[in-house]
Amino acid sequence: MDANLRAWTEYGRFHLNRSTNPPEPKHMAWGFWDSGPGDEVLGDLAGCRVLDIGSGTGRYAAHLARTHSAVIDAVDGSPTQHQRALARYGETEPGVHFILADILEHLHQDEEPYDVVYALHSLGFIDPHQLLPALAPRIRPGGRLVFSVLHTNREGLGPSTTVRPRPENVRLGNEGMLSTAPPCGSSPLPCGRTCSSRPGSSSRTSPFYRRLKKMTRWSASSSPHTGPPG
């Protein structure tokens, strides 16, 4: 098990042991403040086939299925996060299929395309040079990819100027931190893969940006959040 998956598995185990049960969402929360867009950025979801990347407890997938009649594959690679979702919603939550799988393996095995793909903070933990090529043919023509990524971390470190990996910490309440492995790097990962980014390359001319622009219409902002917490 690589360090990234190990961190999220320990995170899920921590909350399973404490029966942590976050509230049901009233709308999609793309950031860490209760501000900004909600469900509307996903468009009309009625009857749409939707993919949730890194679904965690599954509460946003359940919200969209219940509120917008979407049909959702909620995929997470952490067995304990998957267990939390099943403990909360069971295996028969209408409109939601909870799947324990590595997202790249899921995309290579499931050939039916999605109308909408979304990810809340999870894309930053996946190598974009592998994810985007695997994801592109799995989105229907005219489909949508919507995601949010961490802007400024808890140490106050803002966006990188290059597409390069860096470790991040996952908090376990008041009991310390777990360190995640970077999604890719110049040295081999435990899986044997390496990052193809060149140090010093501009983020706006990187392979990540070029692939993303080819996939779909999109907009991106690196402006920091300046308002008060929600």
CA distance 187 to 202: 20
Residue of 117, 171, 177, 180 whose CA lies nearest to 148: 117
For the chain, domains (ranges, CATH) are 3-154+163-215 (3.40.50.150)
pLDDT of 181: 59
Give the whole-angstrom CA distance, residue 179 versus residue 54: 17
The model scores a pTM over 0.85: no
> Residues in the chain, how many?
230
pLDDT along the chain (230 residues), means of 10: 84 93 93 82 97 97 98 97 97 97 94 95 86 95 91 76 72 72 40 32 43 46 37
Sign of CA dihedral 44, 45, 48, 52: positive
Output the pLDDT for position 4. 81
- Token pair for 99: 């799947």
Coil, strand, or helix at residue 134?
helix
- Distance of alpha carbon 157 from the chain centroid: 20
What is the reported pLDDT for 1? 61
The tokens describing 199, both together, are 């140090």
